[in-house]
Amino acid sequence: MSPTAPALITIRTDQGALQLPAGSTLGHALDHLLAVLNKQPEQVATAVNGEFVPRGARADHVLQDGDAVLCFSPITGG
């Protein structure tokens, strides 16, 4: 028998562990996290495993089991 991919993955977030279907993207995770944070996608910056992920790349960034996802307020200055 060949091993099969898990049906669910678990990612770590600053809001706790989150289970998602295998193949989920950062965009999918944000759908869940932003509801908890009561924020809009443009109000947060994101990083996966310590690497910044731009807003435009979230829908294509496939998450792996055990990834660490961080949502934080972007820093702007003048």
Q: What is the rounded radius of gyration, in angstroms, for the C-alpha atoms of the chain? A: 13
Alpha helical stretches, state H, the chain: 26-37
Tell me what percent of the residues of the chain surpass a pLDDT of 90. Answer: 71
Q: What is the pTM assigned to this prediction?
A: 0.84
Please give the pLDDT value at position 73. 84
Per-residue pLDDT, averaged over 46-54, amounts to: 97
In sequence order, the 6+-apart residues with CB closer than 8 A to the CB of 9 are 19, 20, 21, 22, 24, 63, 64, 65, 66, 67
Integer Cα distance of 9 and 64 in angstroms: 7
In a 13 Å sphere around the CA of 65, the CA atoms on its Cβ side amount to 7
Question: Of all residues in the chain, what percent carry a pLDDT higher than 70?
Answer: 88
Domain ranges of the chain: 9-72
Selected from 3.10.20.30, 3.60.15.10, 3.30.70.260, 3.40.50.1220, the CATH number assigned to the domain covering 9-72 reads 3.10.20.30
